[in-house]
Every structure is written in structure tokens, then in C-alpha cells.
């Protein structure tokens, strides 16, 4: 009886020791479907540090509203739910190879390995850095408001659609002096603006 009890204790200790371990990701399935084709979480394969074995088709839990596809070689925590290796859940995946460092206390970044960064800085400052930035408001409005200056710079600046500047339609107003050719026969705002009279004086 005592040998059986000791055997049970060893089995319990082993299961407890395997319940939480680090996992190195080796494959990622982001189709959103499980092996039966039902809607599911992201699925990952990985090598766990505790057992030294490869775990396949583990469930990766993510926070609502935020999703990512980690790179192969990223690490996470593997949890054996109920102590069963067949019910492996992966959480808190990180990749120290690409994680930005030296942020100020309280700051937050969303980042990729390519260097795209959305940085919430101290002082309620937001910085967005990338090779190309697109904003799609669909059928709604895109509003930009600032109590200070709004600066737009680029090799070319293209504005399409009906444009109004200080209450005056861009394409229809004229200047009596200092006119500069503008789209649709209008001109840039400036001295001697005559309003919506059409053409360029």
C-alpha cells in the first residue's frame, strides 16, 4: 500500500512539475479553425523546456481586441490544463529578439520585427512610424483637430474631392494679385482673394 502511495505521489509531483513550462514555437496556424474545421483559437506547435518534447496543435490564448502571429522562435508559457499534456494552452508569447527596450515607465508600444512602431509615450504623445501609413474611414469622416499647428510635408501632396479652405471653395475662387495656378481654374489662398467668382484674375 505504501509503495502504491509513493507511486501516486511521484505521479502527482510529475504532473504538477509539468503544468507550467516555457515553450519555443516551431509552427503557427492562424486560420482560425481547429482540426475539425470549427472556429477556434490560433494553434501552435512548440518544444517545451520542461519535458523536452514537441507539442502539436496547442491552443494559443490572446487578449480580446489584440492579435498577432509570432515569428518562429518566439517563446511563451505553456500550461497543461488539469495536468494533461493533451490539453496544452500557450499564453504570453514574447520575442526578445525584436522587442523594443528602454521605454519610460508607463509607456506602451505595438511593434513588429520590421520596425513598425505605434508608441504611446509619456505626456499623452502618440508616435506612429512605418514605411507607409493608410487611414480608411469608410463612409464616415476622418477628423484631425489640434490646438497648435498641423504640419503636412512630403515630396508631393495630393488632395482630391471638394476642398474648402476658411469657408472658401478651393476650385472656384480667384485672386486679384499674386495668383498661383491651381486645379480646376482656382488659385491658392492669399492676398487679394476675390471669393468664388471663378477663374484666375
What are 136's three cell numbers?
Answer: 480608411
Other C-beta atoms lying within 10 Å of the C-beta of residue 93? 22
Listed range (97-111, 131-145, 155-169, 172-186) with the worst mean pLDDT? 172-186
Sequence ranges of the domains in the chain = 2-94, 98-132, 164-195
Classify 176 as helix, strand or coil: coil
Question: What pLDDT does residue 67 have?
Answer: 95
Nearest-angstrom CA–CA distance, 111 and 144: 24
Residue 128, pLDDT above cutoff 90: yes
Q: Average pLDDT of 89-112?
A: 96
Given a cut of 90, whether residue 13 has pLDDT beyond it is: no
Architecture of the 2-94 domain: Beta Barrel (2.40)
Work out the average pLDDT over 45-74. 90
Give the C-alpha distances (Å, rounded to integers) separating 39 from 60, 124, 179: 13, 38, 62
> What is the predicted pLDDT for the residue at 134?
93
With CA atoms as reference, report the closest residue to 51 among 12, 29, 78, 76: 78
Question: In the structure, what pLDDT confidence band is assigned to residue 200 with cuts at 50, 70 and 90?
Answer: very low
Average pLDDT over residues 43-68: 88
- Which residues are 78's β-sheet partners? 21, 90
> Sign of the CA dihedral 23, 24, 25, 26?
negative
Percentages helix, strand, coil for the chain (3-state, rounded to 5) are 10, 30, 55
Q: Which 8-state DSSP code applies to residue 82?
A: G
pTM of the model: 0.73
Amino acid at each position: 500500500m505504501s509503495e502504491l502511495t509513493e507511486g501516486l505521489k511521484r505521479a502527482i509531483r510529475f504532473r504538477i512539475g509539468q503544468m507550467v513550462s516555457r515553450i519555443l514555437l516551431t509552427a503557427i496556424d492562424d486560420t482560425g479553425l481547429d482540426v475539425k474545421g470549427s472556429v477556434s483559437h490560433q494553434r501552435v506547435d512548440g518544444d517545451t523546456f520542461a519535458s523536452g518534447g514537441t507539442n502539436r496543435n496547442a491552443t494559443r490564448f490572446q487578449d480580446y481586441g489584440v492579435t498577432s502571429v509570432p515569428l518562429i522562435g518566439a517563446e511563451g508559457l505553456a500550461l497543461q490544463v488539469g495536468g494533461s499534456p493533451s490539453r496544452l494552452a500557450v499564453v504570453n508569447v514574447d520575442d526578445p529578439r525584436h522587442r523594443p527596450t528602454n521605454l519610460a515607465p508607463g509607456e506602451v508600444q505595438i511593434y513588429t520585427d520590421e520596425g513598425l512602431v505605434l508608441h504611446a509615450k509619456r505626456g499623452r504623445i502618440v508616435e506612429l512610424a512605418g514605411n507607409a501609413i493608410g487611414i480608411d474611414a469608410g463612409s464616415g469622416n476622418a477628423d484631425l483637430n489640434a490646438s497648435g499647428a498641423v504640419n503636412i510635408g512630403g515630396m508631393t501632396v495630393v488632395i482630391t474631392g471638394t476642398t474648402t479652405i476658411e469657408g472658401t471653395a478651393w476650385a472656384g475662387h480667384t485672386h486679384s494679385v499674386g495668383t498661383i495656378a491651381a486645379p480646376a481654374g482656382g488659385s491658392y489662398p492669399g492676398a487679394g482673394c476675390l471669393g468664388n467668382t471663378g477663374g484666375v484674375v
